Amino acid sequence: MEPDDRRTPIRAVVFDWSGVLTESPLSGLHRYSAQLGLPETALDGYVRGDEEFAKVERGELPVRDFLKSVCVRVRDEHGVEIDISRLAAAMADTRTLRPEMIDLVTELGERYTLAVLTNNVLENRDHLETTLPTERFAFILNSADVGVRKPDPEIYRELLRRLDCAGPEVVHIDDFAENLPPAAALGMTTIEFTGPRELRRTLAGLGVEVSP
């Protein structure tokens, strides 16, 4: 696809962390579910769409209190006792960065303002800052730091404010489709992440200067 010269030039590219810069955010839980003898996706619902976990991501509930509640709920709903330390490790077992994505970040960082927009927890702040090549990013916007999480439109408005960009000047990349419409409503170009190669092709099609 040839770039559209009438399109507003892209100034900034924003990445989700877990599931985009790292592997799938649910992969560790899937492995732990299998170890417990439960269906692979049995623990997904305690993270995706769970209001208690949403409180953690808004900084309203400590992670340990959330983990305790999951242990109780899994016991009550599945009849399985789970270890809180192993559960915590399973949730953290999604932090492996994708080398291809770091290569992409390095390449784009030469020409564009880059940022991370993540639904995350206060306890992960240091990990994010020590794991990511932070020198390549203007900032990391963590939902728990601002008390609002994707897909609440307010976090996208805060993103644009910090970028000092208009919506059409920004590309937003996320692996959860439900997080994209509010960004698009503010004029951002949105990309549902399916893999590094596909992302490069999509960015190039948008006129972003990146090798295919």
Q: Mind listing the pLDDT tens digit for each residue in 146-155?
A: 999 999 999 9
Q: Are residues 122 and 196 in the same domain?
A: yes
Q: Are residues 82 and 101 in the same domain?
A: no
Residue 184 lies in a domain: yes
In Å, what is the CA distance from 192 to each residue of 72, 126, 136, 164?
34, 27, 22, 23
Residue 1 lies in a domain: no
Q: Are residues 86 and 167 in the same domain?
A: no
Buried b (16+ CB within 10 A) or exposed e, 171-197: bbbbbbeebbebbeebebbbbebeebe
d(Cα 194, Cα 20) in Å, to the nearest integer?
A: 8
- In total, how many domains does the chain have? 2
How many other C-beta atoms can be found within 10 angstroms of the C-beta atom of residue 6? 5
Query: Domain ends where: 92, 109, 129?
Result: 92
Q: How confident is the model at residue 5 (pLDDT cuts 50, 70, 90)?
A: low
pLDDT surpassing 50 at residue 3: no
Instruction: Please give the single-letter amino acid code of residue 44.
Output: D
Range of the domain at 45: 27-92
Q: What is the pLDDT of residues 58-77, one digit of tens each?
A: 999 999 999 999 999 999 99
Q: Where are the alpha helices (DSSP H) in the chain?
A: 27-35, 51-57, 63-78, 84-92, 99-108, 125-131, 143-146, 153-163, 181-185, 196-205
Query: Domain ends where: 71, 92, 113?
Result: 92
Residue 5 lies in a domain: no
